[in-house]
């Protein structure tokens, strides 16, 4: 049975840990509010941009110059670029584990293709380094303060590899923020940009050739998709960490209660033993 000193030391240790988890929960909650505001503000723009591009591509789909555009050309997926968004830090529950498991499943489902991983975040980079996977690049520290310039740079690298034939398709894998308690693992292909079937929702009159117009729209579309994924991943990470730290604080309270109960039992047993020794000693003197 542990001694009183050991139990007090363990209770003190758990309380110190609980203070840390509560502080981390408060920090994550503050960051989540800002990240959630950014996601909510960016979603209408990215959705409208996606719809606009889809309509423009559909309206000009009959033009051969459109189908020959480098970012629209469809090729057999022999070389694939996977942009994997994980966090730089842990203590976020299953946030990173789900992403890494999803990436492993993606690699397993594309065994016939050569897959290179563009790692955004330390956790994904370190995990696939240990697996000896092909990592084309790494980007650390971009989730603390997401910037469009970072997304534009990453999108530019992906478009350059796709245009040069180093990749036949580019995929994004990230956690989409649904709510504080829920994140959705999302895999989406951003290159080649899909050409929608059917008639466009709007009748467009082009003041410049469609290929020139799409030459400006398509790179911006890829950049917006990467930036939206970074914002979603950042908000989902803070939400997962806040939930994980709240659960850790609750578990710490349960451990403290259990240890306190043991402490009281050991103290009562010690007092009872001392009383018995005193009574036995007094009886022996009579």
Mean pLDDT, 10 residues at a time, the chain of 286 residues: 83 94 94 93 89 78 69 88 94 93 94 93 94 92 91 94 92 93 92 71 70 83 94 95 94 93 85 75 68
Domain assignment of residue 286, yes or no: no
Q: Specify the CATH number for the domain of residue 179.
A: 3.40.1380.10
- The backbone torsions φ and ψ at residue 21, rounded to the nearest 5 degrees and listed phi first, read -65, -35
What is the spatial distance between Cα 283 and Cα 266, in angstroms, rounded to a whole number? Answer: 26
Do 158 and 263 belong to one domain? no
Count of beta carbons in the 10 Å neighbourhood of residue 224: 21
CA distance 196 to 207: 22
pTM over 0.85: yes
Together in a domain, 144 and 162: yes
User: What pLDDT shows up at residue 266?
Assistant: 83
Model pLDDT, residue 203: 67
Mark whether 226 and 276 lie in a shared domain: no
For residue 286, what pLDDT is reported? 64
Nearest to 232 by CA among 177, 152, 278: 177
Nearest to 133 by CA among 154, 102, 107: 107
Peptide bond into 192 cis (omega under 30): yes
184 with 61, same domain: the answer is yes
How many other C-beta atoms are found inside a 10 Å radius of the C-beta of residue 63? 15
What CATH number should be reported for the domain holding residue 256?
A: 1.10.287.80
Domain count, the chain: 2
Would residue 33 count as lying in a domain?
yes
Range of the domain at 161: 24-197+206-242
Q: What is the pLDDT of residue 202?
A: 62
The pLDDT tens digits of the residues spanning 214-263 come to: 888 888 999 999 999 999 999 999 999 999 999 999 999 999 999 999 88
Residue 223 shares a structural domain with residue 272: no
Output the pLDDT for position 224.
93
The string of pLDDT tens digits covering residues 191-210 is 988 776 655 556 667 777 77
Judgement on whether residues 80 and 53 belong to the same structural domain of the protein: yes
Residues in the chain: 286
């Amino acid at each position: 049975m542990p001694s009183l000193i050991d139990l007090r030391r363990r209770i003190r240790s758990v309380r110190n840990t609980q203070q840390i988890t509560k502080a981390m929960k408060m920090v994550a909650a503050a960051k989540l509010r800002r990240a959630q505001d950014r996601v909510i503000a960016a979603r209408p723009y990215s959705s409208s941009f996606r719809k606009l591009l889809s309509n423009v591509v559909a309206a000009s789909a009959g033009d051969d110059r459109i189908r020959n555009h480098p970012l629209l050309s469809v090729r057999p997926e022999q070389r694939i670029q996977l942009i994997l968004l994980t966090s730089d830090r842990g203590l976020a529950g299953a946030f990173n584990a789900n992403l890494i498991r999803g990436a492993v499943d993606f690699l397993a489902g594309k065994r016939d293709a050569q897959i290179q991983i563009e790692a955004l975040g330390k956790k994904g980079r370190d995990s696939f380094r240990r697996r000896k996977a092909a990592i084309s690049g790494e980007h650390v520290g971009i989730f603390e303060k997401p910037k469009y310039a970072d997304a534009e740079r990453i999108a530019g690298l992906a478009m350059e590899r796709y245009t040069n034939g180093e990749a036949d398709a580019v995929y994004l894998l990230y956690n989409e923020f649904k709510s504080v308690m829920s994140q959705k693992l999302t895999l989406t292909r951003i290159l080649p940009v899909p050409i929608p079937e059917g008639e466009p929702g709007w009748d467009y009159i082009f003041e410049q050739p469609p290929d020139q117009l799409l030459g400006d729209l398509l790179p911006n579309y890829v950049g917006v998709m990467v930036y939206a994924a970074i914002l979603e991943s950042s908000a989902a990470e803070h939400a997962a960490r806040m939930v994980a730290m709240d659960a850790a604080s609750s578990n710490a309270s349960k451990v403290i209660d259990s240890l306190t109960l043991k402490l009281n039992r050991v103290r009562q047993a010690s007092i009872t033993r001392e009383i018995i020794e005193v009574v036995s000693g007094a009886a022996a003197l009579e």
